[in-house]
């Protein structure tokens, strides 16, 4: 492939990677300290970009040379945005997630595919009691925040109102993005295990705290069932006029894999692969995304649609989830 063609493809890729309301000319002019005319000449391939300019572009837009040169090998370049961050308070994890979803919604055409090995984090912020408990678990047992060492959970002491508010903002952004989700009965198991462990090990301050959290968990499942029934996203108690984007919910009784998120933003695809519970590596690499998206569609073809239709299967699925939650009361 000619150098000029590669250069034109680079700028075409960059244009598709930024939200439509932003100007690539303005961004590159500021980034490379060039006039608009100089940027145009590079975009058209009339003037080659220098190695220094290419380095600056790759660093700023998180591009790899493998990706840029379209090398046909088995190497895939991933970004790990949170790799250098240490001891980040959990509310900053939520704020980072909020920024990511706002970025998704800055595109006109957007779509999310979610393999729900566990419930999406934001769904735990539908109701305050479950939100507070999950935040405490994540902050203490996963994030290892020293402020909670030796503490037990109580709603009175740890309401996490700030995290709850950010969580609700995340849900609002999620509700503005159409999605397809694959669930199975294991999708709530980690939360059931957390509640049971805290209950059995004296991790709750009182029996009332346990009761409030379990009731809130049940309310969450009831809301997700109602959302699946209507096939649209909304917050609890929202009137129909506030209903947002569509959600297609499938149940796969064989395998889910991991909590993988796939998004389509205009003509671009991005895969988010989890690590360390909260963190993701991500890639826009075309061949990898084709493989992952194809894999998602294969799983979907072997799953049962329970949103908008499939009332019998929907009722059965959510009944099993609630029965498993109710076992926590014994």
- pLDDT band for position 307 (50/70/90)? very high
Q: Report the SS3 class of residue 120.
A: coil
Residues of the chain with pLDDT > 90, as a percent, come to 63
Q: HSE on the CB side for 30, CA within 13 Å?
A: 6
Mean pLDDT of all residues belonging to the chain = 89
Report the Cα–Cα distance between both ends of the chain, in Å, rounded: 67
Fold entry, domain 3-69: 434 Repressor (Amino-terminal Domain) (1.10.260)
pLDDT for res 261: 95
pTM of the model: 0.80
pLDDT for res 201: 95
Average pLDDT for 163-182: 97
- Domain span(s) for CATH 1.10.260.40 in the chain: 3-69
d(CA 232, CA 21): 27
> Residue 17, exposed/middle/buried by CB under 10 A (0-12, 13-18, 19+)?
middle
d(CA 271, CA 284): 7
pLDDT for res 4: 75
Of 99, 69, 118, 53, which Cα lies nearest the Cα of 261?
118
Q: Which residues pair with 250 in a beta bridge?
A: 182, 305
* Residue 74 reports pLDDT greater than 80: no
Bridging pattern class, strands 304-305 and 279-283: unpaired
> In this predicted model, what pLDDT tens digit does every residue of 246-294 receive, in sequence order?
999 999 988 777 889 999 999 889 999 988 888 889 998 888 999 999 9
> In this predicted model, what pLDDT tens digit does every residue of 82-136 receive, in sequence order?
776 777 899 999 999 999 999 999 999 999 999 999 999 999 999 999 999 999 9
């Amino acid at each position: 492939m000619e150098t000029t063609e590669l250069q034109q493809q680079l700028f075409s890729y960059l244009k598709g990677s930024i939200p439509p309301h932003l100007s690539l000319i303005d961004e590159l002019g500021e980034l490379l300290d060039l006039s608009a005319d100089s940027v145009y000449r590079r975009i058209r391939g009339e003037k080659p970009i220098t190695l220094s300019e290419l380095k600056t572009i790759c660093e700023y837009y998180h591009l790899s040379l493998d990706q840029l040169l379209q090398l046909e090998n088995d190497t895939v370049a991933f970004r790990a945005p949170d790799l250098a961050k240490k001891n980040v308070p959990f509310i900053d994890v939520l704020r980072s997630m909020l920024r990511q979803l706002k970025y998704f919604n800055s595109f006109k055409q957007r779509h999310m595919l979610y393999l729900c090995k566990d419930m999406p984090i934001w769904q735990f912020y539908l109701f305050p009691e479950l939100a507070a408990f999950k935040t405490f678990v994540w902050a203490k047992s996963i994030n290892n925040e020293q402020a909670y060492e030796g503490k037990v959970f109580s709603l009175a002491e740890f309401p996490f109102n700030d995290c709850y508010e950010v969580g609700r903002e995340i849900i609002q952004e999620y509700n503005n993005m159409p999605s397809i989700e694959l669930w199975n009965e294991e999708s709530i198991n980690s939360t059931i295990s957390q509640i049971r462990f805290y209950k059995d090990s004296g991790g709750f301050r009182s029996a009332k705290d346990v009761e409030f959290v379990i009731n809130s968990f049940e309310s969450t499942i009831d809301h997700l069932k109602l959302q699946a029934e209507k096939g649209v996203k909304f917050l609890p108690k929202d009137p129909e006029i506030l209903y947002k984007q569509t959600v297609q919910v499938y149940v796969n009784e064989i395998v889910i894999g991991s909590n993988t998120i796939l998004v389509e933003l205009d003509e671009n695809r991005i895969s988010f692969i989890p690590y360390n519970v909260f963190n993701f590596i991500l890639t826009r690499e075309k061949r990898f995304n084709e493989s992952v998206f194809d894999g998602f569609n294969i799983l979907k073809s072997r799953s049962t649609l329970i949103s908008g239709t499939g009332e019998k299967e929907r009722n059965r699925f959510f009944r099993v989830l609630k029965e498993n939650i109710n076992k926590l009361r014994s």
